[in-house]
């Protein structure tokens, strides 16, 4: 926290921390994995870049450089002696003043790390389409990872969990598929991989990685609007995300997707992704920062 390593139990903030009230903070979710050469942080540069992009949208004057936060992220993994897990950097408006314009508040930075297993479990997930629309890109910078955006995700998650499904699917202001509460979505139709274009979604780093992998595997990839009808008629569907990794979707609104538990293209991509994050594929080792 703010340049110091603090024991877990002492990592506290004041109750009048600005971001706690109004959600004006920028954060990241990063994973690191066990490799034969020790822990490897997946796409650290891209996550730090997105963190600074999100902070810039909030006009935050970040008191550290990208290099300093990159080094601190590596160090938090090292001193916690973790082999694999999750890292949560957060840049927030701290304690100083209330009122909506955050200028005048200190800009605080924290980075936490902890072990975290499969976010959506090991089985293909049952989804439902949420009644809540994904945040409108004219209401905010929808491509930034800003704390307050996640109230939209919280509402969709509460709704869908109450109805007994595992994860929500949110549609955008044009009525097309956007993403999950914390994941991007892909469908497979006639051997082609299709994912919603940028605009209303968070441009996921896992999404980019999967698209690059698919191209290298000669799987055609398209960024295209997906209607509800196309979604329900998909041969395969899966989520991607730092927490969720590659998670196959078994059902949407009670309708089974595909004939198998996990579709063949989903499975192939999931297996390649799993090898890549553990440093087992030379061409993707560029994505790992060894600690
Ligand atoms: N969409 C949302 C809303 C998210 O919170 C996340 C998680 N960061 C993603 C997509 C996936 O992004 P990434 O692959 O960069 O984790």
- pLDDT tens, residue by residue, 178-215: 999 999 999 999 999 999 999 999 999 999 999 999 99
Q: What is the 143 CA–ligand 1 centroid distance (Å)? A: 10
Q: Is there a shared CATH topology between the 8-114 domain and the 125-277 domain?
A: no
Round the average pLDDT of the chain to a whole number and report it. 97
Residues identified as active-site: 145
Domain 8-114 in this protein, CATH class: alpha beta
* Rounded Cα distance, 243 and 286, in Å: 20
- pLDDT tens, residue by residue, 141-177: 999 999 999 999 999 999 999 999 999 999 999 999 9
Ligand 1 site, residue 183, Cβ cutoff 6 A: yes
- pLDDT tens, residue by residue, 167-181: 999 999 999 999 999
Ligand 1 site, residue 179, Cβ cutoff 6 A: yes
The domain locations on the chain are 8-114, 125-277
* Rounded Cα distance, 242 and 251, in Å: 22
Instruction: Indicate the pTM of the whole model.
Output: 0.97
252 pLDDT band, cuts 50/70/90, is very high
Query: What's the confidence (pLDDT) of residue 258?
Result: 86
Region 220-224: what's the mean pLDDT? 98
CATH 3.20.10.10 is held by the domain 125-277:
yes
Burial of 250-274, coded b for 16+ CB within 10 Å and e otherwise, reads bbbeeeebbeeebbebbbebbebbe
Ligand 1 site, residue 202, Cβ cutoff 6 A: yes
Tell me: pLDDT of 260 over 90. Answer: no
- Among 42, 143, 242, the mutation site with the greatest number of ligand 1 atoms within 8 A of its Cβ is 242
- Among 142, 196, 209, 241, the mutation site with the greatest number of ligand 1 atoms within 8 A of its Cβ is 241
125-129/245-252 β-pairing: parallel
- pLDDT tens, residue by residue, 25-81: 999 999 999 999 999 999 999 999 999 999 999 999 999 999 999 999 999 999 999
* Rounded Cα distance, 156 and 149, in Å: 12
The residue whose CA is least distant from atom 13 of ligand 1 is 204
- pLDDT tens, residue by residue, 273-288: 999 999 999 999 999 9
14 HSE (CA, 13 A, CB side): 13
């Amino acid at each position: 926290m703010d340049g110091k390593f603090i024991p877990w139990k002492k990592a506290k903030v004041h109750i009048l921390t600005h971001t706690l009230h109004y959600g004006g903070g920028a954060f990241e979710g990063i994973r690191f994995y066990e490799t034969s050469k020790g822990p490897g942080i997946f796409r650290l540069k891209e996550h730090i870049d997105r963190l600074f992009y999100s902070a810039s949208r909030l006009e935050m004057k970040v008191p550290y450089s990208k290099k300093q936060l990159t080094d601190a992220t590596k160090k938090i993994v090292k001193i916690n002696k973790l082999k694999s897990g999750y890292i949560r950097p957060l840049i927030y408006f701290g304690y100083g003043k209330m009122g909506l314009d955050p200028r005048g508040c200190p800009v605080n930075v924290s980075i936490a790390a902890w072990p975290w297993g499969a976010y959506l479990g090991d089985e293909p997930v049952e989804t439902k389409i949420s009644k809540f629309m994904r945040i409108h890109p004219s209401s905010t910078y929808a491509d930034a990872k800003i704390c307050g955006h996640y109230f939209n995700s919280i509402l969709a998650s509460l709704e869908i969990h109450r109805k007994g499904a595992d994860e929500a699917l949110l549609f955008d202001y044009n009525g097309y598929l956007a993403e999950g509460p914390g994941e991007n979505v892909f469908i497979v139709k006639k051997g082609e991989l299709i994912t919603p274009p940028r605009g209303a979604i968070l441009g996921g780093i896992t999404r980019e990685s999967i698209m690059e992998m698919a191209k290298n595997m000669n799987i055609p990839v398209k960024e295209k609007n997906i209607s509800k009808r196309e979604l329900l008629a998909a041969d395969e569907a899966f989520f991607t995300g730092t927490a969720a990794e590659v998670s196959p979707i078994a059902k949407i609104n009670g309708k089974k997707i595909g004939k198998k538990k996990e579709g063949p293209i989903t499975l192939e991509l999931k297996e390649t992704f799993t090898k890549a994050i553990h440093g087992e594929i030379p061409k993707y080792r560029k994505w790992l920062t060894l600690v």
